[in-house]
Chains A and B, each alone.
Chain A
Amino acid sequence: MSRLLQRLFGRLPVGWLQLTHNRTRFFAALAGVAFANVLVFVQLGIMNSMSSAAVRPYAFFSADIMISAHDANTLSDGANVARQWLYQALADPEVAEGMGLYVTNVPWDRGMTDISLTTFGVDPFQPQFLTGTLGPDAGFLQLRDAALLDRLARGFNRADAAGISPATPLSFETERRTLTAWTTFAGGGGFGSDGYMFVSDQTFLRLFPARRAAAPDHILLRVTPGADVAAVVTRLKATLSDPGLRIRSFADAKAEDLRYQQTRRPTGVVFGFGVLIGVLVGLVIVYQVLSSDVADHLREYATFKAMGYRPSFFLGVVFEEALVLGVLGFIPGMIFGGGILTLMGKVTTLPLRMTPDMALSVFLGTVLFSALSGAIATRRLAAADPADLF
């Protein structure tokens, strides 16, 4: 390592030698940087998983435009929308088809625990609005009180889920009705619920008699092939002149939901602050190590100053130390952080994992903030006056 750094810097790796001279302090410093990295990784992992979980339900649908109530920031909140807007939207020549979407959370008693499933009520005769296996399986929803269950739902035994098939459907009770799951799909737990369930709009209305067919939660639209979605949205905004409506492309709705989760929801803000705290902890640890290291070696630095070393040399030594701490602290931080995320992901079924992007950005952030700490620590070098050596 010493030789590598000597080649890299073209001089004796004074910073490295200084850091490793006191092994105990060196490893304590690395542990501190690694700890800060773990903090950042876990917070970032949760934040990313929150984002992934927030946009996951959008992946179930194939739509171009979504009409929602003005206060509907996500798929599962906000007021209802009058069905009349669906019919008016269908009057646009480039709107090919539309579907009302009903959404609510349904509790499911699983014996030891209650789990909550975000339940979508859809029109089983319009499977083109559903993606993946949901489209072909939507036919099952034409049956009375039929359901499609999320086999990755938190608290739903994997073996039980695997046993569900048209030959061996699973009947269960919820909202004082018996539903029958004919098959499953891959969803996963999120922050708002433990998983997902699809039922027909008719089943949905039977489950919730207070809800009315004339007032779905959202209206999904598909445009004719080749139509410009943005232009259709603009036209619909002019045509459907109700200020209580949010008319957006489906992609914009997904992006706005994500932004809302990250910046307006307490969880997003809390985890965002968590990342910030992790960064600050790392910054303080590296600063503390470097600053006390500079203070401990002021006499030696003053000697080097007397010998004619330029300020750039001292900056180089402190940055070298910052780089060593940042890089070597990152490695255990990434290993432990990745391990913790994997473990948490298994327990919660949240999409918690270390992505290459996350690892790279945390690495670059670590090096950057270590260098910043180093830059702050070099201010103490001003105290090294070679004239005081005599």
Chain B
Amino acid sequence: MTEITVSAERLSHWFGQGETRKQALFDVSLALPRGSFTVLMGPSGSGKTTVLTLLGCLRAVQAGSVRLLGHELHGAPEPHLVALRRRLGFIFQMHNLHESLTAAQNVIMGLQVHPGVPDATARAAAAQVLGLVGLSDRIDYLPANLSGGQKQRVAVARALVGNPALVLADEPTAALDKDTAAGVVDLLKRMGAARGTTTLLVTHDNRILDRADRILTLEDGRIVKVEDRA
């Protein structure tokens, strides 16, 4: 039986209150098997980001069910959600690196969230992951001294250094040129496959669709198409 990392059942979500209350998701159901690489597509305002934030414990589930790593998120208390977030990796459209930390220190922040990791271990792990993303020679560089692609690779390293069960990536290639974008996605897929990490990547970028195991298309808050490619 396939192990499911995260699943959603009849997931609905609303924004606003009273007269301005607007439904963003309508009975969305999905399941991401362990180690899969899924792309979530759809036009702007279709609800992609809302799905990502709900699966990533960044918003409270209002209606329906989300099971993440065997835990029901509907009604889960905030400390429980925070603890679950530590088992996830986030990659944002903007790299969101801390400007005053070096590449290695930014990556260490991805590991230091887990209590009890010795400094030496954290440093070694950061150096290793930065090596995997091809930045061995940029370990002590501040983000200001890195190119856009290098920054995004540091962000990928930060997301992956803690061996997350699920990586949620929001338009990680939007600010990158074609070659760099392909490199980042390949890296994400390669490292995910090697570690059994499940990846859900939101994108508008048609250039990376051929790397996906499955493509979900969302329109007006509903999944309108599921395309399996594996």
Interface residue ranges, A against B (CB under 8 Å) = 6, 11-12, 14, 17-18, 20-21, 297, 299-300, 302-304, 306-310, 386-387, 389-390
Contact A308 B101, CB 8 Å, known A303-B96, A386-B58, A387-B59: no
The 3 closest A-B pairs by CB, nearest first: A21-B100, A308-B86, A308-B85
How long is the Cα–Cα vector from A20 to B83 in the complex, in angstroms? 31
Nearest CB of chain A from residue B142's CB, rounded to whole Å: 8
Question: B113 contacts A18, CB within 8 Å?
Answer: no
Spot the interface stretch: B28-36, B48-56, B187-195, B212-220: B48-56
Stretch at the interface among B4-12, B17-25, B102-110, B131-139: B102-110
Q: Beyond A17-B101, A387-B58, A390-B170, is A299–B96 a contact (Cβ under 8 Å)?
A: yes
CA–CA, A304 to B90, complex, Å? Answer: 10
Docked CA distance A17–B98 (Å): 10
Other A-B pairs beyond A300-B97, A302-B96, 11, CB < 8 Å: A12-B109, A14-B100, A18-B100, A21-B99, A297-B98, A304-B113, A306-B90, A307-B90, A308-B83, A308-B84, A387-B53
Given contacts A306-B58, A390-B52, A390-B92, contact A11 B100 (CB under 8 A): no
A303 to B92, CA, bound (A): 9
How distant is B218 from chain A, measured CB to nearest CB, in Å?
Answer: 14
Q: Is the CB of A306 within 8 A of B101?
A: no
What residues of chain B lie closer than 8 Å to A310, measured between beta carbons?
Answer: 79, 82
**Which of A11, A299, A306, A386 has the largest number of chain B CB atoms within 10 A?**
A306
Contact B53 A390 (CB under 8 A): yes
Q: What are 24 of the A-B contact pairs (CB < 8 Å)? A: A11-B112, A12-B108, A14-B101, A14-B109, A17-B100, A17-B101, A21-B99, A300-B96, A300-B97, A306-B58, A307-B86, A308-B82, A308-B83, A308-B86, A308-B113, A309-B113, A310-B82, A387-B53, A387-B59, A389-B90, A389-B170, A390-B52, A390-B53, A390-B93
Give the Cβ gap from B115 to chain A, nearest Cβ, in Å: 9
Q: Which of A14, A306, A386 contacts B98 (CB 8 A)?
A: A14
CB-nearest residue of chain A to B52: A390
- B: which residues have CB within 8 A of A? 49, 52-53, 56, 58-59, 79, 82-86, 88, 90, 92-94, 96-101, 105, 108-110, 112-113, 119, 170
CA distance A308 to B53 in the complex (A): 14
Interface class of chain B by DSSP:
mixed
Q: Say yes or no: A307 contacts B49, CB within 8 Å.
A: no
Please name all residues of chain A whose beta carbon is closer than 8 Å to the beta carbon of B109 when the two chains form the complex. 12, 14, 304, 307
Q: How far is the CA of A90 from the CA of B113 in the complex (A)?
A: 80
CA of A302 to CA of B79, assembled, Å: 16
B100:A307 contact, CB within 8 angstroms: no
Within 8 Å CB of B93, what residues of A?
390
* Complex-state Cα separation, A303 to B170, whole angstroms: 13
Minimum CB–CB distance for A382 against chain B, Å:
13
> Which residue of chain B is the closest to A302 with respect to CB atoms?
B96
Knowing A299-B96, A310-B82, the reply to whether A12 touches B59 (Cβ < 8 A) is: no
The complex places the Cα of A309 from the Cα of B101 at a distance, in Å, of 17
CA separation between A317 and B88, bound complex, in Å? Answer: 23
B113→A307 contact, CB < 8 A? yes
Identity of the chain B residue whose Cβ is nearest the Cβ of A15 in the assembled complex: B100
Chain A nearest CB, measured from B204 CB (Å): 14
Residues of B within 8 A of A20 (CB): 100
* Closest A residue to B83 using CB positions: A308
What CA separation (Å) do A302 and B92 show in the bound complex? Answer: 11
- Residues of B near A300 (CB, < 8 A) are 96-99
A300 CA / B143 CA spacing, docked (Å): 13
Residues of A within 8 A of B105 (CB): 12, 17
With a cutoff of 8 Å between Cβ atoms, the chain B residues found around residue A307 in the complex are: 85-86, 90, 109-110, 113
Q: How far is the CA of A153 from the CA of B151 in the complex (A)?
A: 70
Flag if A6 contacts B59 (CB, 8 Å): no
Beyond A300-B96, A390-B170, whether A306 also contacts B56 by CB under 8 A is yes
Which one of A6, A12, A300, A308 has the greatest number of beta carbons of chain B within 10 Å? A308
Chain B residue nearest in CB terms to A299: B96
* Contact A390–B101 (Cβ < 8 Å): no
- Distance of A14 Cα from B59 Cα, bound (Å): 27
